[in-house]
Amino acid sequence: MLGLSALQTMPALAQRPRVSRLVIVGGAEDRLQDRLILRKFADHCGGPQARIRLITAASGDPQGVWHSYQQAFNALGVFDVQPLAIYDRDSAQSPEVQAEILQADGIFISGGDQSKLMAILWDSWAYQSLHQSFYLNRCCIGGTSAGAAVMSRHMIAQGPAVLRATKEAVDTDMGLGLLSQAVVDQHFSERRRLPRLLSTLAMRPDLLGVGIDEDTALVIERDVGIEVIGQGSVTLVDPSQMRSNVDELETLESIEMLGVQLHFLPAGHRYHLSTIGQDARSAPLRRAVQRLVTLGPMRA
């Protein structure tokens, strides 16, 4: 495996962004018309000269998904775009794949099945290289749908779009861990997933809930702030002050949740720590943004 000494000898990467960024997409992003989200992602990777690599292992049609993104990025003037040869556990241990990750300016993770993806990536060389590339190389990492779900340490693996918050309605698992204090749900408004996210948070009130609409992205700049881009909104759900009866309930019973704080952030808005007010009314939003921009530990 390539260690830190090998990492330090990697060639300088093209137009390296100044801060580490995550671009977390709620799914169904536009790849054919304005391509706003993919355009922003490419810009954060360094523009036309960027080296962008795709992880399509979550998809049931990895080649078809790859060609779709290749065409989209090429239309944006970015041509050094290649798929990473990650198909199974063995390929995730490949030194060649590891080197490709460490030399990339941007990594984009497609949709599909997040549990399938993490079964391939978990604790592999590719997994460790993603962390090294993000934390040490300031590589921009994006993901859509399943690729968004895996960003958090505590990941929603599966669960129906329940009508109300219900105990143990959602199965969770381990994700990539780039976000350590949040859990992400995608296709949020379109699939009416607020009760699903609340069901998750009732069991894990230490986490911040992040619901992202389709064709919408939450851009997180490490230690700086967040931005919402695209066509929809991002919903932040903070249960840190919540009182709940979840410990008294049986499986699938409805949960009482009191004192939950909700922030609704439309596309086109930025929330940087330097511009959020210091007053008591701004404190809940400041706490939420602080938890997003304070990323988890590097796994190496």
Instruction: Please list the active-site residues.
Output: 145, 187, 214
Are the C-beta atoms of 215 and 229 separated by less than 8 Å? no
Give the C-alpha separation, 54 to 72, whole Å: 12
Q: Quick one: which of 172, 176, 222 has its CA closest to 196?
A: 172
Q: What share of the chain is helix, strand, coil (3-state, %, to 5)?
A: 30, 25, 45
Q: Is 48 left (phi over 0), alpha (psi -120 to 50) or beta?
A: alpha
CB within 8 Å of 111: residues ≥ 6 apart? 27, 58, 59, 65, 144, 145, 146, 147
- Which is it for the CA torsion 29, 144, 223, 294, positive or negative? positive
Are the C-beta atoms of 29 and 190 separated by less than 8 Å? no
Tokens (6 digits) for 217: 């992205």
